[in-house]
Amino acid sequence: MSEELISKKDLLELTGISYGQLYRWKRKDLIPEEWFVRKSTFTEQETFFPKEKILDRISKIQEMKENLSLDELAEMFSPNISDLNLNIDELIKRNIVSETVLQFYLENDLRGSQFDLSRVVEVYILEKLLQSGDINLEEGKMIFHVLKDNEEVIKQKSCEIVMTRKLGVSSCLLLINAEDFHVEKGTKVIARVPLLQLLEEIKTKLG
């Protein structure tokens, strides 16, 4: 399944930003390097971006840049919150997880009541997908085990969790630095969650 792309020319026209602004934000790490996708066209190499992600990011930058410096914005968008350590009460207080989903998580995880970054990501993605109704409890367990088993890889890469379902049978995929992916005919993608996006949301809640 290919992610919809937008060309640099169309992006600049649609958002009203300049070429200089775009690359200044890139240098400041407000826009990830991997979002700049080079593709060959009939005449030359052109730069494209994942449309939904880049439009959402630019919208956030434009909304907040009056009140925050570029360095402060970069810190907010950065996934570097590796020293995070929260207890159960803090998770609930900061609206990262509901008591119901937290109880489900703790029934499947016996690592105690302190949550480092990896565990916060695990519980937050379950909160989002279970509360939305996109996945059921058994699929939640699949996601949990995929995240837990690949904890070290996730810390170092740009990853997405993808849940598919065909004829009632579910599969959970962890995509690493993937621009697109393809599934068998008749397979439905029921959830696709970029982990960098989750980290941004978690950082907002912690702020």
Neighbours of 181 (CB within 10 A): 15
- The strand order across the sheet containing 169-176 reads 169-176, 159-166, 188-194
Q: What is the DSSP string of 23-49?
A: HHHHHTTSS-GGG-EEEE-SSSEEEEE
Task: List 6's β-bridge partners, or say none.
Answer: 49
The pLDDT of residue 145: 93
The pLDDT of residue 77: 72
Residue 182 CA to its chain's centroid (Å): 19
Cβ neighbours of residue 70 closer than 8 Å, sequence gap 6 or more: 24, 25, 28, 30
Cα-based torsion angle of the residue sequence 143, 149, 154, 160 in order, rounded to the nearest 10 degrees: -30
The pLDDT of residue 29: 82
207 residues of the chain, pLDDT tens digit each: 557 899 999 999 999 999 999 999 998 888 888 889 888 877 778 899 989 889 999 998 998 888 888 887 877 776 555 567 889 999 999 899 999 999 999 999 988 889 988 889 899 999 999 999 999 999 999 999 999 898 877 766 678 899 999 999 999 999 987 777 888 999 999 999 888 788 878 877 776
Cβ neighbours of residue 163 closer than 8 Å, sequence gap 6 or more: 129, 134, 135, 139, 142, 143, 170, 171, 172, 173, 189, 190, 191, 192
Question: Domain locations in the chain?
Answer: 5-77, 85-206
The pLDDT of residue 172: 95
5-77: what CATH class? mainly alpha
Is 117 within 8 Å of 84 (Cβ atoms)? yes
| pTM, 2 dp | 0.63
The pLDDT of residue 78: 66
